[in-house]
Amino acid sequence: MSVFYISAGINHFYNTNWFLKIMPPYIPYHLELIYISGIFEILLGSLLLFSRTRKYASYGLILLLIGVFPSNIYLAFNEEPQKLINISSLMASWIRLPLQFILIGIAYWHSIDKYIIDRNK
């Protein structure tokens, strides 16, 4: 999970144009938001590595995933960004949108103190 978010965050700086193409036009400061979300993905992905910060990182990732959801909705329901990044509407709407909820669930799972179960035995 950490590697996934750190890699995704770094990708915000190397493939900035890809992210610019899926930003909804009604959201301001496209470039700045792409860089900010990349920084948070790197930071929160790194914080997942440590048991002391894992819970906070998980909650931060949940908020981040909710925050970027408008871009995924925009991509799913608009042909222009789909064509610009060469992705099918099936991939954009039926795979990417549900994937966000799966990622939120996985992030929440990481927030649970798994040792509570063991201590109660």
Kindly report, residue by residue over 94-113, the tens digit of the pLDDT: 788 889 999 999 999 988 87
Percent of the chain past pLDDT 70, that is, above it, reads 93
Residue ranges making up the domain that contains 31: 2-119
What pLDDT score was predicted for residue 114? 63
pLDDT band at 29 (very low <50, low <70, confident <90, very high): very high
Q: Which helix (H) or strand (E) holds 24?
A: none
The set of long-range contacts for 74-80, using a CB threshold of 8 Å and a minimum separation of 24, is 74/22, 74/23, 74/24, 75/22
CA 53 – CA 13 distance, rounded (Å):
25
What pLDDT score was predicted for residue 116? 53
Q: What is the reported pTM?
A: 0.87
pLDDT in tens, 32-50: 999 999 999 999 999 999 9
CA geometry: angle 29, 14, 111, nearest 5 deg:
75
What is the separation, in whole angstroms, between the first and last Cα of the chain?
28
CA 83 – CA 56 distance, rounded (Å):
37
Provide Rg for the chain, Cα atoms.
16
- Indicate the number of domains in the chain: 1
